[in-house]
Chain A
């Protein structure tokens, strides 16, 4: 007996969308319920994940980082997946699903461009037309990824509304879909949006945690004590957490604290937001008292989003996972720290998770120790356990920004 594709997670989730989309969401739910049980589909997806994406990605015991924090730390190397981040797992899966559903046109949204590049890549692979909505401001900031998408044959559609960033790009993609729903599939990039997307994207990202759990057991003969991942929309974190939900393992999500929660300039929907509807789902959002959605802020474009996946809101409420904010400055310093300790240049997004780990063990650099409050950082865990951290992407895309910002911090 197969499990239904969830529409809700506790009180969260649902489908708060224009009526025109309901039939397409029903169709997608039914198609995914069939495809994920279908051996042919799974075999094809498995082949692509292995031969094209490069899975399984390694679980790497980070010796010098472990030494620094005083306990063993393993990094799940999603930065080594094709196109440089976990986003490709979802993009390939959804593009394959769209093709199976007979859709000929793919649309996607992107912020920093990682999901856009992943979707353009999957569309090139499968011969599908691809349009990527991207805020005009993000297009300006992320020129190399725009060039990559164009090279891959995708059309990048600039979005001029609002702050001209990720939130508006998602809205523009949904509006496109409302008008083109008959031949178009919307490849959403995270575990957000109306049902079935939060469950669909989680199902396609759970490969991270499934692999990591088995790799951890191979390496240590035991489960990790803590599993740590960054949370923007929440796809790499839910993908990592999902395999461990029924295990005695602490699940820790790290949100973008921006310039600090008290500054109001952050993207920490779970730590400091309210309950509301954004992009079709009831979840934790950043909104004012009238329900107007606020702009998020993070040094990391991939975390710069005023909402989060509904399953995370549910995991927070039930206490199964804990969520803590990490500020821009801490993430920037952790970016450099990991590069120098391990020879791995992480993306700014997982640098937030690395920063939390460094701070929590009291082993961050002096600059970071002086910088900000960390509500979750009190008290290290037992010394005999080990941690597993999802390194969701590589940092090439962030180099220019990080170098400029570190220069400011270093004075």
Chain B
């Protein structure tokens, strides 16, 4: 210390003077307990059917790297702009922040990234080009997802689409006020830019037969969706004025002239029913009533969409079932309904609706739209030997394999949950199963390596770039393991309404807008980032023994001095640190 002009010799005669270092004492020998940094899978990722690495994306966004965050979503999900708008966000129900104040607006985040982040396509192209070719039948979310992941693995992929435009239900089912078509087209263009070839107006079984596809391609993925409407199954369904929901939505998208005047009754409680009702309002119907046989809690449609429908003037009558459609001069005039009550749970786990006899009543109606379910049209598989279940869907194993070698199936046509995210998940699984099939690997064993907890999804991040994906896919972070004393309660930022209901029903403009930058930043900050090390330095700062050192990509331990107190592990806000017993 040359700035103090006293030498040790000046002091020595006066008092004893320590000049040595305590580093000669290896206090690490006091204990064999040492910290280990183990990144874990966040509960939101466990809840996400697609398996998006949400906490990692939030971490990158918190460092200002929005493009990197979008890249994280795109590692798992080819359609973040779609999911960011229409997903049923099970991630948010598992969000740990829910226990603290309220869940993070994860869907809004995904949408924000998809709309504002940029991808470098050249960087995303597969480095190797493999020779085995894969054909995909159907370009809905499952087919697009399979194609996207296969092309990223290096396989040449061709997608066959019967309709004029790719997208399946995303294009022909979901109305534009929930999913603007330019967003969908942008995402499909991105998939095409990666090298996926999409042949539209090509129906398998009509334009090309399945056998020739099998000859030309080494593997097939069938994801034709469920576009055949199921009937209500009551008298009077053949009357003029009765239409099926999915056909109605398709016709509206195709721009067919549809003018609904007065009273419309929609039968059903799923997303299709809600969409039909809201579209009916937009097509001029004065009075729209949804009748659903169970209660509000059992309605499969998204809560926020049900609320929107109600605010747009749609009436919802629950515990009501149609009994007969009544017509005059072969035209619908009314619908006879019956009241229901809820009984014991049925096979689906929901309470069984039981008619209350004598409670019949009549609702006047000009149009009846049935939206009680769809099934796949699998006529083209008749001679293929592929086995079909009793429910009329393709029979598949957990890893999407059918009983025929080299043919895989996913999405609605193999009876998956009818949500976009689940379809994407089955496409992902299909892509991975096809890779394993073509490369002669044991798919069951490989899947277990990359499977996220016990869920239906796998981590493509771990498959494609193992060097940057170190999180343990087999352990997650329960709320109790977080150190929430490091956080402060803050309000959740919801996506803003950009159209009032009375304006919304005049057209097909998006009703809910994107978060602005400030709101997004607050959500990014609010996210706990469970299981992801954000290099917050808390462990480093709190160590009493100066035994944690900062590295380029995280922290290390000075094992010679660490006394094993475990302050770091107990204080870590995100449960990244574990205590191991090795020296």
Tell me whether A and B are bound partners. no
* Interface set of B (CB-CB < 8 Å, partner A): none
